[in-house]
Structure 1
């Protein structure tokens, strides 16, 4: 009987511990732009989720860079992460992270990468970039590295010998500023359409400065950035995962929620996603590594 009571007590404590672990949610955000702005928006998202899901506490952090967000997910420091497409593929293929949702902008669950230049540079085509300087965003940025490099490789261009100098800006807003200030000749960054009217340069620059920039090439569409979950958290805290997923999907029907997503990463809404949606990203990663 004593052994039975001990086992029962142990099971009760274990259950309580598991419930506590599920109650506290650690959520990480992608440092695609100014980290302080992302952190403010992330905290607002956390407060929103706490208001919709009774009994949870959402703790937020902004990773130093894309790879750090993947590592924090892999090591179990984060339960949920707002991952870029390439970062999601890494987190899934290396650590089993699962995609829950993907972002929608301008009516579609995808965006593009664009090579952007100053209009007065005389650069009109991709070939005109030969011998010029370029700023990428991050080695694990889909729009800021992987897809534009894959585009060049598909045209028989070796990016490592094509440009006179390559640098990493770290964030899209920093890249836009470096281009506008004349520090580099071109940048690879995200675009929300293929008309040149909406992208990082229109988000992070005043209209008069944005109008001085132009797109010379677009990549193929990129599936939207993700909200993903650590696999063992999804297994052990399935009910919380379901509630978080539903609350974020529901933000599109709530004016307050819509505003929070827009401030976070200019997202219109989040919709269900599956891993197969990101096979095109895996293909681009392989292509971008060719010389």
Structure 2
């Protein structure tokens, strides 16, 4: 993994703000291009927590995780992969519930008319990943290849990183990439919101169910008032009209409190890939 987030831990105590502001980080797992959604989320969190809220977006998982570990943000909606890697330093705040479960899948996708039925049919492709630190957008595929004694760099003719799940779909739909690894939740939401684009692609394979990308905080701040207020706001989102409107825009059922063991499947993937790398 190309992670540098741990390097900022030394200055974490100095970086923590004395401000009453609640700083909430968002990564490409979140549908950040929807400005109305961001505005509604901010308004809901401010009303529900009683804190001024600042939404902080970054292009990569590495950037947002570094801010989280260093205390420069209070919590973030991250990916299960960095959560597992930094599990000793992080605590779960809440996990989204989608289609009745706090779980989702990774999809392998290709062009609509291509006769591919498994990852083996994608050998030699230009393949689009979302982020090297994404579970659904890299790790799941890397694990499948490791179990075949392969690696992305040798199995595919070229790997490109799009820095967003939407962009993986766009790359495959346009022919920039012949196949891609994408978050199944994002794919299904876009099937509703951008049917023409998604219709240019098809799903080759779906992974097993895995822990949905969680909202997490630094373990050292898990009992702070801002964290407790955020957790209460997220878990209570389905109980108010304002909260239900946000959930509807996200195509989520709710947020729930879940145990760390929800992400053991992703931890097993990490172990497989690390073992293959020697």
Using structure 1 for the length normalisation, give the TM-score. Answer: 0.81
Offset, 1:216 = 1.3
Provide the aligned length of Structure 1 versus Structure 2. Answer: 260
Match among 39, 43, 47 for residue 43 of structure 2 = 47
CA pair 278-85 structure 1, distance change in 2 beyond 3 A: same
What does residue 149 of structure 1 align with? 142
CA shift digits 1:11-34 (9 cap, x unpaired): xxxxxxxxx937321111112366
Structure 1 range deviating more: 181-190 or 145-154: 145-154
Whether the 8 Å contact between 2:138 and 2:181 is mirrored in structure 1 is yes
- Between the aligned partners of 1:211 and 1:244, the Cα distance in structure 2 is 37
What is the aligned counterpart of 1:241 among 223, 227, 231? 227
Larger radius of gyration: 1
Q: Which runs of 5+ in 1 are unaligned?
A: 1-19
Asked whether 1:253 is paired with 2:243, we answer no
> Which consecutive segments of 4 or more residues in structure 1 shift more than 6 A?
none
Q: Secondary structure at the match of 2:222?
A: helix
> Structure 2 stretches of 5 or more lacking a match?
1-16
Distance 1:57 1:91 in 2: 28
The answer on 1:170 being equivalent to 2:167 is no
Paired with 2:45 and 2:107, the residues of 1 have a C-alpha distance of: 34
How far residue 46 of structure 1 moved from its aligned partner, in angstroms, is 2.6
2:205 is paired with a residue whose SS is strand
Report if aligned partners of 2:29, 2:78 keep a CA contact under 8 Å in 1: no
SS in 2 for 1:27: strand
CA contact 2:80–2:212 (8 Å) conserved in 1: yes
Whether the 8 Å CA contact 1:113–1:144 is kept in 2: the answer is yes
What TM-score, normalized by structure 2, do the two folds share?
0.84
Could you report, residue by residue, the CA deviation over 1:256-282 in whole angstroms, capped at 9, with x for unpaired residues?
21221343x432211002222222212
User: Are 2:95 and 1:110 equivalent residues in the alignment?
Assistant: no
1:125 Cα offset (Å):
2.6
1:87-106 per-residue CA deviation (whole Å, 9 max, x = no partner) reads 2223433xx12012111111
CA distance 1:204–1:145, shift in 2 (3 Å):
farther
Partner of 1:229: 217
Structure 1 distance, partners of 2:166, 2:193, is 6
- SS of aligned partner of 2:105: strand
Q: Is the 8 A contact 1:147 1:285 kept in 2?
A: no
